[in-house]
Structure 1
Amino acid sequence: MTQPLPPRAQARPVTRTVHGVELVDEYGWLRAENWRDVLRDPGLLPADIRAHLEAENAYADAILAPCEELRRRLVAEMRGRIKEDDSSVPSPDGPYSYYVRYREGGQHPLVCRRPRDGGDETVLLDADALAEGKAFFELAEAEHSPDHRLLAWSADETGGELHRIRLRNLATGEDDATVIEQTTGEVVWAADSRSFYYVRLDENHRPSRVFRHVLSTDPATDEEIYRENEAGWFVHLSRTQSGAFGLIIVSDHETSEVHLLDLADPAARPRLVAARETGHRYSVEHRGDELIIATNADGAEDFKLVSAPLAAPDRENWRELLPHRPGVMLLKHTAFRDFLLRLERENANPRLVVRAFATGEEHTIAFDEPAYSLRYEPGYEYDTSVVRFTYSSMTTPAETYAYDMASRERQLIKRREVPSGHDPARYVTRRLFATAEDGETVPISILHRRDLVLDGTAPCLLYGYGAYGISIPADFETNRLSLVDRGFVYAIAHIRGGTEKGWRWYTDGKREKKTNSFSDFIAAGRHLAALGYTSPQRLVAHGGSAGGMLMGAVANAAPDLFRVILAEVPFVDVLNTMLDESLPLTPPEWPEWGDPIRDEAAFRRILSYSPYDQVKAQVYPAILAVAGLSDPRVTYWEPAKWVARLRARMKGGGPVVLSTNMDAGHGGSAGRFERLEEVARLYAFAIQQTGASDEPLP
């Protein structure tokens, strides 16, 4: 059967000189000049660009046609592992318990509540109904008012992360005329339930201003409470567990600043906790007349806890509660009335620690598996001793426990159901360590069938991210079983750029040390092959967003190590993006990558690894790149340009395929079953290209 010919993007070279270096961009025309308008209305994409993306999609459909039947089977398998009428664990708040559930066949959640002491359910919001007739719909927030009469809810209807906030009367189930446009979707209610705070995006899609909306007034008259004038700083809203304060959190990738809003005072103005200092990050909780602050001040790179008087929270008044412990990363803390709960991580595994305020005594909640995930949700209430945490591993479905911090009693209240069946004993999870170029040890979390013969012939999917300090949990994910049951090894490389081994693990994978992320991933792949888990002929690399940049970098640097590259919304045009101050994320990203406009060293460093700029005349693996037209984070033209240049310069290999979702943004399709279609397409391509079994092994 003759392979279809790929589209050839027209080369329209534009040359410019930056720091004495001539840059030639043949495909810059794929960047729509009206990109801001396209985020709001994808129908405004210029005709020539749309024609090219549609041609790419047609080619993708043709290349993937031979594995279409496999894709359908994968979707059916994945869907068969989902409990379609599932529900979250109800979270109590005053007279009600609130939760989210799905109906059988439903794509989107229902926000619900029932009386705390039992009684009938009330559906507060039906996102399936709200999404009807829309090409894209994603519910963002649904925050009930403190008096339980109202619901402020927000949704994204283009994929461009431009959220509209609406207000629902819970007695009637009807929305009023309130519509607040172009927000982040975050809402924090005032204590009297007569107003709420939210964040608006500016003309460059950056969250920069906090407003207060008073009920029954025109949003056009909303009062501005806070404005951030630095383009590289983003503004977000949260609240303390006590409910006493809203938190205006202002940050870039290395520095933060927090302002308190007294939610009991309608005339409140933001009150600064500690002024921003480059490199200082902190987060704030409240208890009584003090604040409890996690901070990296004074060399505490993995964070320590301090307390500060609420009346005078300046840094000179901070008193140490928990000292810094190198290599033990403090991830999150919550102050309840009588207990302080914190989540920390050491050697890539998490644990929970409870401290009693009255005595200072601490105890730990941890698990014995070699690699696992642990998280907690503080819920709505402050005066409680019960918290809920969720444990899982790559073999163990999520288990949610109610844990009494006073009695230390643990009650299993929900275990994730896998309707098609799952026997953890059939699988093995373990932790390996690869040696990087500079001698560092890189953790790798592994999942495979217990009966798999590790003789180097198994296909393997190796996932990586490695940016922004984000760690990839070794948790349970049912979709992976469709690969593992076909003889795949599924592996996660916990490379530098994340915080799996502490904050240093992050700083060793950013800016001047960014290439450590790439060499760590390559070392992980080679280690798996050396130990017989796979071979280069059957190794699949997978990453998205900043992990998609990783995919582009390793494709350039070690194309012979990988048979397949799966790159979702890949950040591959790094240099051009970091040189364009008008793009939404560029100024906030300079602390992560460097500022190539003002810093020649940063320019040359980014140029040396930017995947688009480093495409070579060499043989490349098979590549499937996925984009979203209304993506404000990694704009659609980055993967489009990358694929065009790959095809023009490569000397063999492939195929190189681009699939752009014309109705979605960074996260792809919003519906839970629609997303399965996208995952199955990636996995089917990997199975086809590695020659793995089409059918699950017995």
Structure 2
Amino acid sequence: MTGFRWPEGVQAPTVEKEPKEFIAHGDKRIDNYYWLNQRENEKVLNYLKAENTYLETLMSGTKELREKLFLEMKGRIKEKDESLPFKDNGYWYYVRYEEGKQYPVFCRKKESLEAAEEIMLDQNKMAEGFQYYSVGRRVVSDNNELLAFTVDSVGRRIYGLQFKNLVTGAIYPETIINVEGGNIAWAADNKTVFYVKKDLVTLLGFQIWRHELGTDPSKDVMVFEEKDNRFYIGVYRTKSKKYIGIYSHMNQVSTEYRLLEANNPTGDFKIFEPRKENFQYSLEHYQNKFFVLTDWNAPNYRLMETPEAKTGKENWKEVLPHRKDVYISDMVVFNDHLVLAETKDALNQLRVINFTNKKDYYISFPEAVYTSFPNINPDYNTNILRFSYTSMTTPASIYDFNMDTQQRELKKQTEVLGGFKQDEYTSERLWATVRDGVKVPISMVYKKGVKKDGSNPLLLYAYGSYGSSMSPSFNSNIISLLDRGFIYAIAHVRGGQELGRQWYDQGHMFNKKNTFYDFIDCGEFLVKEHYTTKEHLYANGGSAGGLLMGAIVNLRPDLWHGVIADVPFVDVITTMSDASIPLTTGEYKEWGNPAEKAEYEYMKSYSPYDNVEKKAYPNMLVTTGLHDSQVQYFEPAKWVAKLRELKTDKNLLLFKINMEAGHGGASGRFDYLKDKAWQYAFLLALEGKIN
């Protein structure tokens, strides 16, 4: 390897062993590093700081490269910019950024874009004095005078709910603590707000409360409590504004909605259709009926409708049938049109249906690999659909589309500065045949002129869990790798929903290993097709995708020259056995419940932490945040400690801990790029490309 030498003779941090025994179903596990879960323990904090010091020492030779990468990525961002305005209830709403500032300014204008600007919130001023600061949901009352908003100043996703008078500019004295950041609904009386309260142990939203503005939050009224801790809950206002809705949702398993007319905030919520196992639905109120998307006898979903006064399933009538090769993910209702977001062959489609003549068509797109989805469409009374479009070579674009004439107008495309020229890059879609004969799609982007002779470094990314599809989209940061000869690829492995519900079913619970095998086989396919070689193949995934990284380095450590595992979920058995840990109970249907012997044994057979062995591992960079609420910092910390103990190679094992942030990393738009620069520098240093 040329061009860069890693420092030699630097000692990695050592971690004390304190064996803890776990016994389940007659099986004994010893966890020598369980004690690292003591967040306030000085020894733990000192260990994490030592890991950061070790990282900085080992990567000291990349300091100039990191700064260069940071300035490159920052230089592609139009610092003074604003979002495309949208109109709702007489006001145009938009978000703008000021040059040199980290955070957004939330604004609006009355009736006309020529009107005077009203600043609702300036997050830059609000964030002064904080290491981390995030404004969550922002909702305006029906009379346009009041703003409810949430704030998290730690990064643990525990928000405070506050209120602002948009006429006087005054912030109301009451702050409601320990709430979900994304769930607020105003009633029609302009004084009542519904919100979700969090359990401070599990960090799950578990209750819906009603607050009257100007009153003591201790007098708030609980209107719903979710008794089944496998369900996530939320509250919202329907697009029609007529109803406040409460939903309970177990991912990919079960759904239940409750509705209350918004002009009767002290009334009782009524169940739309009771929950059942393996029965999901979502709804949209329209005039005197509801449209319902459901997987009832339809794994890829079908569209139903039901009278407003008769919401029970026995009254549902089919509008569009189920199709085996098309997955329906969303719907947008207008007065004269219905738009469905569908997925076929791992590509998004937008289907427009005319209510009057019943005719339908699909919006056409110019590229072979792309992503498209509905944007913000708050108005029923329009024939204009606003949708987003992007690809791995096309920056995020927003179009207004006339659903009658099928004419489209590009309203805004994210400007990419720094000399970016779209025609210098190309993307393609490949299909890798994996070990059980299934074809797995791979989306790929690289700079034109790249030769498929095996000499290219290639970064392969995947997620593969919860039915979340990784749609191919533009990422200006990746240009820093592409311009240095990298190919960037996304493996659409099973566990997502790119090829419909069956793609998810084949990648979770007792089929979870398909996710890992798919990724490995995609890597081998790319080597076989001469896009790269093992010596230049890199892997990346985060959170549940970090579990994927942990699994593939255990299964095929020889296939990768380097692996980046971001905030990785790696201690599957211990975490899923502890119902007090955030997310655990809500994910039994994703990973399994260790209380069940068969599920315990299957999870143990792949759990990255439990399967670390004495053998050679690839170069690795692991990241976490001390305040992570999704994957607790101690999971990657224990994993790194165990890897240090058992690995037999002399490859790098680096651990980067953000001591001021949580699962999503730094909150500022520029600070985030510094974290990304560390990762890219790690890859480029392994390639010997630090200039």
Both proteins in one fold, TM over 0.5: yes
Is 1:686 aligned to residue 683 of structure 2? Answer: yes
Q: Give the match for residue 42 of structure 1.
A: none
Greater mean alpha carbon deviation, residues 258-267 or residues 570-579: 258-267
Q: CA deviation at 1:463?
A: 0.4
Is 1:191 aligned to residue 197 of structure 2? Answer: no
Is 1:133 aligned to residue 129 of structure 2? Answer: yes
Is 1:611 aligned to residue 603 of structure 2? Answer: no
Q: Give the match for residue 21 of structure 2.
A: 15
Of 2, 5, 8, which residue of structure 1 is paired with 2:11? 5
Letter in 2 for 1:239: R
**Residues 341 and 354 of structure 1 are in contact (CA less than 8 Å); yes or no, is this contact kept in structure 2?**
yes
Q: Give the match for residue 452 of structure 1.
A: 450
Of 455, 468, 471, which residue of structure 1 is paired with 2:469? 471
Greater mean alpha carbon deviation, residues 111-120 or residues 503-512: 111-120
Task: State the secondary structure of the residue aligned to 1:641.
Answer: helix
**Residues 185 and 236 of structure 2 are in contact (CA less than 8 Å); yes or no, is this contact kept in structure 1?**
yes
Q: Give the match for residue 570 of structure 1.
A: 568
Query: What number of residue pairs does the alignment pair up?
Result: 681
Letter in 2 for 1:82: I
Question: Aligned partners of 2:652 and 2:226: how far apart in 1?
Answer: 46
Is 1:624 aligned to residue 630 of structure 2? Answer: no
Q: Any idea what the Cα deviations from partners look like across 1:493-539, whole Å, max 9, x if unmatched?
A: 00000001111101100000000000000011011111111111111
Q: Any idea what the Cα deviations from partners look like across 1:291-349, whole Å, max 9, x if unmatched?
A: 10100001x11100000111111111110011001121111112222221111110011
Q: Give the match for residue 121 of structure 1.
A: 117
Letter in 2 for 1:95: G
**Residues 511 and 591 of structure 1 are in contact (CA less than 8 Å); yes or no, is this contact kept in structure 2?**
yes
Q: List aligned pairs for 1:22-171, cutoff 5 A.
A: 22-32=28-38, 45-117=40-112, 118-171=114-167
Q: CA deviation at 1:259?
A: 1.2
Letter in 1 for 2:307: P
Q: Give the match for residue 539 of structure 2.
A: 541
**Residues 618 and 652 of structure 1 are in contact (CA less than 8 Å); yes or no, is this contact kept in structure 2?**
yes
Task: State the secondary structure of the residue aligned to 1:522.
Answer: helix
Task: State the secondary structure of the residue aligned to 2:173.
Answer: strand
Q: Give the match for residue 254 of structure 2.
A: 255
CA separation of 1:582 and 1:47: change in aligned 2, threshold 3 A: same
Letter in 1 for 2:648: K
Q: Give the match for residue 292 of structure 2.
A: 293
Letter in 1 for 2:259: L
**Residues 87 and 99 of structure 1 are in contact (CA less than 8 Å); yes or no, is this contact kept in structure 2?**
yes
Q: CA deviation at 1:232?
A: 1.2
Q: CA deviation at 1:13?
A: 0.8
Q: Give the match for residue 169 of structure 2.
A: 173
Question: Aligned partners of 1:332 and 1:46: how far apart in 2?
Answer: 46
Q: Give the match for residue 3 of structure 2.
A: none
**Residues 463 and 542 of structure 2 are in contact (CA less than 8 Å); yes or no, is this contact kept in structure 1?**
yes
Is 1:643 aligned to residue 649 of structure 2? Answer: no
Question: Aligned partners of 1:615 and 1:366: how far apart in 2?
Answer: 48
Q: Any idea what the Cα deviations from partners look like across 1:545-565, whole Å, max 9, x if unmatched?
A: 000000000010010100111
Of 235, 240, 243, which residue of structure 2 is paired with 1:242? 240
Q: Give the match for residue 276 of structure 2.
A: 277
Task: State the secondary structure of the residue aligned to 1:354.
Answer: strand
Identity of counterpart residues, as a percentage?
Answer: 38
Question: Aligned partners of 1:588 and 1:231: how far apart in 2?
Answer: 6
Q: Give the match for residue 349 of structure 1.
A: 347
Greater mean alpha carbon deviation, residues 333-342 or residues 316-325: 333-342
Q: Give the match for residue 631 of structure 2.
A: 634
Of 663, 667, 676, which residue of structure 1 is paired with 2:664? 667
Is 1:309 aligned to residue 307 of structure 2? Answer: yes
Letter in 1 for 2:572: V
Greater mean alpha carbon deviation, residues 263-272 or residues 278-287: 263-272
Question: Aligned partners of 2:104 and 2:631: how far apart in 1?
Answer: 27
Consecutive unaligned residues of structure 1, counting only runs of 5 or more, are: 36-44
**Residues 353 and 360 of structure 2 are in contact (CA less than 8 Å); yes or no, is this contact kept in structure 1?**
yes
Q: Any idea what the Cα deviations from partners look like across 1:356-404, whole Å, max 9, x if unmatched?
A: 2223221211313121011222333232222211111101112211122
Task: State the secondary structure of the residue aligned to 1:483.
Answer: helix
Q: Give the match for residue 4 of structure 2.
A: none
**Residues 13 and 24 of structure 1 are in contact (CA less than 8 Å); yes or no, is this contact kept in structure 2?**
yes
Q: Any idea what the Cα deviations from partners look like across 1:255-302, whole Å, max 9, x if unmatched?
A: 11111121121223211111111111111101111110100001x111
Task: State the secondary structure of the residue aligned to 2:644.
Answer: helix
Task: State the secondary structure of the residue aligned to 1:178.
Answer: coil
Q: List aligned pairs for 1:302-381, cutoff 5 A.
A: 302-381=300-379
Task: State the secondary structure of the residue aligned to 1:143.
Answer: strand
**Residues 15 and 22 of structure 1 are in contact (CA less than 8 Å); yes or no, is this contact kept in structure 2?**
yes
CA separation of 1:277 and 1:426: change in aligned 2, threshold 3 A: same
**Residues 241 and 378 of structure 1 are in contact (CA less than 8 Å); yes or no, is this contact kept in structure 2?**
no
Q: Give the match for residue 418 of structure 1.
A: 416
Greater mean alpha carbon deviation, residues 660-669 or residues 260-269: 260-269
Q: Give the match for residue 41 of structure 1.
A: none
Question: Aligned partners of 1:365 and 1:220: how far apart in 2?
Answer: 51
Greater mean alpha carbon deviation, residues 377-386 or residues 604-613: 377-386
**Residues 467 and 496 of structure 2 are in contact (CA less than 8 Å); yes or no, is this contact kept in structure 1?**
yes
Q: CA deviation at 1:420?
A: 1.4
**Residues 442 and 494 of structure 1 are in contact (CA less than 8 Å); yes or no, is this contact kept in structure 2?**
yes
Q: CA deviation at 1:410?
A: 1.3
Q: Give the match for residue 39 of structure 1.
A: none
Question: Aligned partners of 2:687 and 2:591: how far apart in 1?
Answer: 34
Question: Aligned partners of 2:458 and 2:22: how far apart in 1?
Answer: 42
**Residues 337 and 384 of structure 1 are in contact (CA less than 8 Å); yes or no, is this contact kept in structure 2?**
yes
- Alignment RMSD, CA only? 1.2
Task: State the secondary structure of the residue aligned to 1:471.
Answer: coil
Q: Give the match for residue 40 of structure 1.
A: none
**Residues 133 and 154 of structure 2 are in contact (CA less than 8 Å); yes or no, is this contact kept in structure 1?**
yes
**Residues 356 and 362 of structure 1 are in contact (CA less than 8 Å); yes or no, is this contact kept in structure 2?**
yes
Question: Aligned partners of 2:660 and 2:259: how far apart in 1?
Answer: 38
Greater mean alpha carbon deviation, residues 280-289 or residues 479-488: 280-289
Greater mean alpha carbon deviation, residues 498-507 or residues 57-66: 57-66
Letter in 1 for 2:100: G
Question: Aligned partners of 1:653 and 1:493: how far apart in 2?
Answer: 29
Q: CA deviation at 1:444?
A: 0.3
Of 375, 398, 401, which residue of structure 2 is paired with 1:400? 398
Question: Aligned partners of 1:412 and 1:67: how far apart in 2?
Answer: 41
**Residues 348 and 443 of structure 1 are in contact (CA less than 8 Å); yes or no, is this contact kept in structure 2?**
yes
Question: Aligned partners of 2:9 and 2:406: how far apart in 1?
Answer: 63
Q: CA deviation at 1:172?
A: 2.0
Question: Aligned partners of 2:179 and 2:514: how far apart in 1?
Answer: 36
**Residues 537 and 690 of structure 1 are in contact (CA less than 8 Å); yes or no, is this contact kept in structure 2?**
no
Task: State the secondary structure of the residue aligned to 1:486.
Answer: coil
Question: Aligned partners of 2:384 and 2:669: how far apart in 1?
Answer: 31
Question: Aligned partners of 2:366 and 2:501: how far apart in 1?
Answer: 24
